[in-house]
A and B are shown apart, each in its own frame.
Chain A
């Protein structure tokens, strides 16, 4: 600050201000771009000699690790251990798995060699009881009904395959993350080593994890689990460090004064006091595991993801939707359960409370389980509902979607062609036009403007990696897709977020009526679809007469509409939006490709549209959070100065919310990068496509280098955004 002002006062031409350097760099970039036709080839595109054979090097390194060092013994042992755990889990969960992976002696004597998967009824009961115990009967009902849905709609086997992988991956990730986190908390140097690795791990796309894992561990569910563990551990590490660090020193001192040894302090004072943070970490691990297990279908993990992939590839929308619903239900259930667990506070029982009162839930559970076991004896359906007997709504959705498409496809095709030819292709060419040195100069300019020489160097090095890796052109295509998606996501997310956090219109005003009208319309549409689905299900079970069917539809419509109306009456716009964001984020990201592929077929428009759906979420969320965080006193002060609504927004709320919004933008870029890569599987031409190819060739080096390319772009944006936000925040004294 002082330096800058001093420099400004110095005679002109003696010293630069940072801004001058940035402008100069930008001018250089523009100049290079304009001069492109006259430039030698080595400036326009990264010259051959600049491209290092990084992927070959990596491949040789991994080869050496595997064969010469004998790393394969370790990996094989590890794979076998994970495989055994998986066998055990799926023997318990998956109906078609036969027998437990136990030594023959045990197996023959106890008779565990034949299939004894746990019946679905017991899962439903357990889900209900655990949910009720952890929070409320509503959560219990959600959990119970989730399992009922999975069983009744014929998703049981796939869901259980997925869940058995989650069940193995979560404890492994939690244990690994906790140990690493505790070590990092204890030893400063270890944290310094770990932090950049965590940053990198969290910005490399899911898919890039898969290939090295395949090379080391082969394909199949055990490889999926290992990839999942690697992917899901970082948040656990972070939350563990955070939690352990947050424990008040007095609590530790009190433990020490009680004469506790180091280990006792850790076990009895520090870890239990950090319980909430650690459990938030567990929650994140669970969600990451579920997302990754679904994606691990790419490397041959069976389960919901695998089926979804199949159905999507053959565009069987109805079945895809049913699986999507399963994934979402499981995600919501696991999320809510682990959150409820994190939030659950111990409640005391008065002395002398009898055992059966203390453990009422346990008794209820035992009773229901016995009943369920008896039911399995009476009828096989209580044990397992075979898929061909299951209900399915896929025809309903297929018909509905066909209907919708018949309506929409013509205009959608027009929009698509227009966008592709008139908008996207020119933009894409524009991205590929500037010489790579110009791009580097522009990037350096941004870095310099934000954080001086150091930031400039950081971002330039990151982006230069794209040139050095030999994937410059592909990277620019990724950059183009992400840029378009991010610009659109901001164009949607920012105004909507701001609108949502404006003060609520007063009852009876035009704004209020408008809101109510929109809400009612939304409720009507949702309940109509819901009621139609209900009627459809009934039709497949017991075909009713038309009159009955009609009244049933109306009854269902009224019931659903009433329910939603009651539930959303007091929900403000911002809360509704945050709820929507939460929901969108619980879906595995590639679900968003379903609707866009249906509308636009397979091309850049579809990919970008899918990315936008996912990328808008953080923009919305952080805009709302940022606007909420503006101190009310400042807004009131502006009001008292006679500012109009727009003036208040422009002069007070937005500038103050901007640093937070910037973090949202940063995340939007990250999300978009990840999603663009995933979108590759519907056929784009960027890095993601190459990652898919690397996967097909199982070329570890290539896939890692491609992953690093994505990470480099992400980290560069991240660096600029966080620097800028930190600077602004400091300047605003927030």
Chain B
């Protein structure tokens, strides 16, 4: 898809923070040879026959400053591996990764450690807290690694602990906390060094639905405050829809489509993406803005609908008039387009697959 990528208004990915090109990660006895033998792009069959697993297959992605990219896909589709390549927790087999203009794969160990100490933070599915350290010590751990002084460390750690709402628990040990609280510690730890880039690998999957919802709200709040570049892995489409600027859908190691939620649902790039999103009720995903047509001198009256409202949330308004077109307003309240009411209603009453 070469279409211009639409992120939240204004933030286009002209100046990507992370850029990866033709990234490959192959597990197996002789990955490099395999790539070389097939001119750098073996077919899935060739990979399988030679006894290798292509966990990441020819992935090229750009992630803009302040953007939240959600990576989705079935279990084993290579989401974790992709993110671990981007943080260089695993060494990619081939391809380029640039982080803020620096060639990540060319960094030596020192350079990598510096990069992690200054720019990257990561949250893990199973929390991965150090069991012998208190909450405070866990959160202060990256600062300690950086060699910061005891008092500074403590003050900064307390700040983030407050930020994630764990004040008063700082002397507890991980096993004395609930799952949700433990993940808050994980989040606080990853935020302690004020990273620019934030990786989250299924951070809420191990939590029950109620806590998960609560943690998502918390996450959105933090995101508003912190404005970081985020790569977020999840299995859960609802979660993706709540959070994402763009969604990347992975299948068998390859990224099938990277796009805004609206377009993923409205215009699936491949058959697989179509099947993947089939179950979703489209009206809940698609925003008025995505359906909007240019004004073209049309004069419409009636109350303007906000461009960032989903069609589902506009149901009452759509049924309540008989106008052919409804005006759409941007975030400043200026009308900049119209939506065709019948098209919107079709979407709203489209066969609900569930």
Residue in contact with A250 in the complex, picked from B126, B132, B145, CB distance below 8 Å: B126
Closest chain B CB from A558 CB (angstroms): 44
Q: 1/0 per residue A250-266: CB within 8 Å of B? A: 11011111111110100
Task: Please give, as numbers and ranges, the residues of chain A lying within 8 Å of B176 by CB-CB distance.
Answer: 347-348
In angstroms, how far is the closest chain B Cβ from the Cβ of A732? Answer: 29
Interface centre among B84, B87, B130, B189, by most chain A C-beta atoms within 10 angstroms, is B130
Once A248-B128, A250-B128, A251-B130 are accepted as A-B contacts, the answer to whether A257 and B120 lie under 8 Å apart by CB is yes
B131 CB within 8 Å of chain A: yes
0/1 interface trace, chain B 160-184, chain A, CB 8 Å (1 if under):
0000000000111101100000000
User: Do B173 and A348 have beta carbons less than 8 Å apart?
Assistant: yes
- Of A178-186, A269-277, A628-636, the stretch lying at the interface with chain B is A269-277
Docked CA distance A337–B189 (Å)? 35
Contact of B125 among A250, A345, A349 (CB under 8 A): A250
Question: Is A351 interfacial (CB 8 A cutoff)?
Answer: yes
B126–A275 CB distance below 8 A: no
| Chain A count of residues within 8 A CB distance of the other chain | 26
- A residues near B210, Cβ cutoff 8 Å: none
B126 touches A257 (CB 8 A): no
Chain B 110-146 near chain A by CB (<8 Å), digits 1 or 0: 0001101100111011111111111000000110011
Partner of A275, one of B116, B129, B132, B171: B132
Given A250-B124, A250-B125, CB of A259 within 8 Å of CB of B113? yes
Q: Mark B62-104, 1 if CB is under 8 A from A, else 0.
A: 0000000000000000000000100101000000000000000
Q: Assuming the A-B contacts A253-B124, A347-B173, A349-B171, are A258 and B142 also in contact, with contact meaning beta carbons closer than 8 angstroms in the complex? A: yes
Q: How far is the CA of A259 from the CA of B119 in the complex (A)?
A: 10
Is the beta-carbon distance between B130 and A268 smaller than 8 angstroms? Answer: yes
Question: Which of B87, B131, B146 has most chain A Cβ within 10 Å?
Answer: B131
Q: Which residue from B134, B170, B172, B190 sits with its C-beta under 8 Å from A257?
A: B190
Residues of A within 8 Å of B175, CB to CB, are: 345
Q: Which residue of A lies closest to B175 (CB)?
A: A345
Q: Closest CB of chain A to B186's CB: distance in Å?
A: 8
Which residues of chain A come closer than 8 Å to B171, judged between CB atoms? 348-351
Nearest-neighbour CB distance to chain A for B240, whole angstroms, equals 22
Query: What chain A residues lie within 8 Å of B109 (beta carbons)?
Result: 261-262
Report the minimal beta-carbon distance from A104 to chain B, rounded to whole angstroms: 43
How distant is the Cα of A272 from the Cα of B137 in the complex, in angstroms? 14
> CA separation between A251 and B199, bound complex, in Å?
15
- Considering the chains assembled together, what is the distance between the CA atoms of A261 and B108 in angstroms? 12
| Chain B residues in 8 Å Cβ range of A253 | 84, 89, 122, 124, 128
CA distance A462 to B126 in the complex (A): 47
A272, B130: Cα distance in complex, Å: 8
Q: How large is the interface on B (under 10, 10 to 19, 20 to 34, 35 or more residues)?
A: 35 or more
Establish whether residues A257 and B131, one from each chain, have CB atoms under 8 Å apart when the complex forms.
no
Bound complex: CA A253 to CA B84 (Å) = 9
- The minimal Cβ–Cβ distance linking B121 to chain A, given in whole angstroms, is 7
Which of A268, A273, A349 is within 8 Å of B141, CB to CB?
A268
CB distance from A350 to the nearest CB of B (A): 6
Cα of A94 to Cα of B134 in the assembled complex, Å: 41
Interface flag for A346 (CB, 8 Å): yes
Given known contacts A257-B120, A257-B121, A272 and B132 CB-to-CB distance under 8 angstroms: yes
- In the complex, what residue of chain B is closest to A347 when comparing beta carbons? B173
- Report which of A248, A273, A348 forms a contact with B126, defined as CB distance below 8 A: A248
Q: Which chain B residues lie closer than 8 Å to A349 at the CB level?
A: 171
In the assembly, what is the distance between CA of A262 and CA of B121, in Å? Answer: 18
Q: Is A258's CB under 8 angstroms from B145's CB?
A: yes
Q: Mark B335-349, 1 if CB is under 8 A from A, else 0.
A: 000000000000000
Kindly name the residue among B89, B113, B128, B170 whose own CB sees the greatest number of chain A CB atoms within 10 A: B128
User: For residue B186, which residue of chain A has the nearest CB?
Assistant: A254
A257 and B173 form a contact (CB under 8 A)? no
Which residues of the partner chain B approach A260 to less than 8 Å between Cβ atoms?
113, 145
Cβ contacts A342-373/B at 8 Å (1 or 0 each): 00011111110000000000000000000000
Q: Are A259 and B128 in contact (CB under 8 A)?
A: no
List A residues 263-302 near B (Cβ within 8 Å).
264, 268-269, 272-273, 275
Whether A269 pairs with B116 at a CB distance below 8 angstroms is no
B126 to chain A, nearest CB (A): 5
* Complex partner residue of A256 from B116, B134, B189, B190, CB under 8 angstroms: B116
**Contacts A264-B145, A345-B173, A348-B172 hold; do A257 and B87 have CB atoms under 8 A apart?**
yes
Shortest C-beta distance, A200 to chain B (Å), equals 32
Chain A neighbourhood of B199, CB < 8 A: 257
Give residues of chain A (203-258) contacting chain B, Cβ–Cβ below 8 Å: 248, 250-251, 253-258
> Which residues on A sit within 8 Å (CB–CB) of B120?
257
Question: Which residues of chain A are within 8 angstroms of B146 by Cβ–Cβ distance?
Answer: 259
CA distance A251 to B133 in the complex (A): 13
Contacts of B193 in A (CB 8 A): 258-259
Q: Select from chain B the residue with minimum beta-carbon distance to A262.
A: B109
Query: In the complex the two chains form, is A348's CB within 8 Å of B134's CB?
Result: yes
A273 to B175, CA, bound (A): 13
Q: CB-defined interface of A672-697 with B at 8 Å, one 1/0 digit per residue?
A: 00000000000000000000000000
Whether the Cβ atoms of A272 and B131 lie closer than 8 Å is: yes
Residues of A within 8 A of B89 (CB): 253, 256-257
Cα distance, A264 to B145, chains bound together (Å) = 8
Give the shortest distance, in Å, between B168 (CB) and chain A (any CB).
Answer: 8
Chain A residues with CB under 8 A of B127: 250
Shortest distance in angstroms between A261's beta carbon and chain B's nearest beta carbon? 6
Query: How far is A436 from B120 in the complex, measured between Cα atoms in Å?
Result: 70
In the bound complex, do residue A258 and residue B131 qualify as a contact, i.e. CB atoms below 8 Å apart?
no
B170/A351 in contact, CB under 8 A: yes
Residue from A248, A255, A258 with most neighbouring chain B CB atoms (10 Å): A258
A258 touching B116 in the complex, CB below 8 Å, given contacts A347-B173, A348-B173, A351-B170: yes
Which residue of chain A is the closest to B142 with respect to CB atoms? A258
Question: Chain A contacts of B122 at CB under 8 A?
Answer: 253-254, 257
Residue of chain B at shortest CB distance from A353: B171
Chain A hits for B84, CB < 8 A: 253
> Considering the chains assembled together, what is the distance between the CA atoms of A118 and B129 in angstroms?
42
With A269-B130, A346-B132, A350-B171 given, is the CB distance from A259 to B117 under 8 Å? yes
Q: Determine the residue in chain A with the shortest Cβ distance to B110.
A: A261
Chain B residues lying within 8 Å of A261, measured Cβ to Cβ, are: 109, 113, 145
Query: Which residue on B lies nearest to A345, using beta carbons?
Result: B175
Distance in angstroms from B171 CB to nearest chain A CB is 4
Residues of B within 8 A of A273 (CB): 130-132
- With the chains together, A726 CA to B122 CA distance in Å? 41
Residues of B contacting A250 in the complex (Cβ-Cβ under 8 angstroms): 124-128
CB distance from B259 to the nearest CB of A (A): 28
Q: A346-B173, A348-B171 are in contact. Are A257 and B116 (CB under 8 A)?
A: yes
B134: A residues at CB distance < 8 A: 346, 348
CB pair A251 B128 closer than 8 Å: yes
Contact in complex: B145, A254 (CB < 8 Å): no
* Residues from chain A with Cβ under 8 Å of B190 in the complex: 257
Least Cβ distance of A359 to chain B in Å? 16
Q: Which residue of B lies closest to A352 (CB)?
A: B171
Q: Which residues of chain A come closer than 8 Å to B114, judged between CB atoms? A: 259
Closest residue of chain B to A252 (Cβ to Cβ) is B128
Closest B residue, CB atoms, query A349: B171
A475 CB, nearest partner CB in chain B, Å: 45
Q: How far is the CA of A676 from the CA of B159 in the complex (A)?
A: 66
Most chain-A Cβ atoms within 10 A of its Cβ — which of B116, B145, B146? Answer: B145
Task: Enumerate chain A residues within 8 angstroms of B141, measured Cβ to Cβ.
Answer: 255, 258, 268
Of the A-B pairs whose beta carbons lie under 8 Å apart in the complex, a sample of 17, sorted by A's number, is A250-B126, A253-B124, A254-B128, A257-B116, A258-B145, A258-B193, A259-B117, A259-B145, A261-B113, A262-B109, A272-B131, A273-B132, A275-B131, A347-B176, A348-B172, A349-B171, A351-B171
Can you name 5 extra interface pairs (CB under 8 A) apart from A254-B130, A275-B132, A345-B173? Answer: A251-B129, A256-B116, A257-B190, A259-B113, A347-B173
Chain A interfacial positions (CB closer than 8 Å to B): 248, 250-251, 253-262, 264, 268-269, 272-273, 275, 345-351
Nearest first, the 7 closest Cβ-Cβ pairs linking A and B are A259-B117, A258-B142, A250-B128, A254-B128, A259-B116, A257-B122, A348-B171
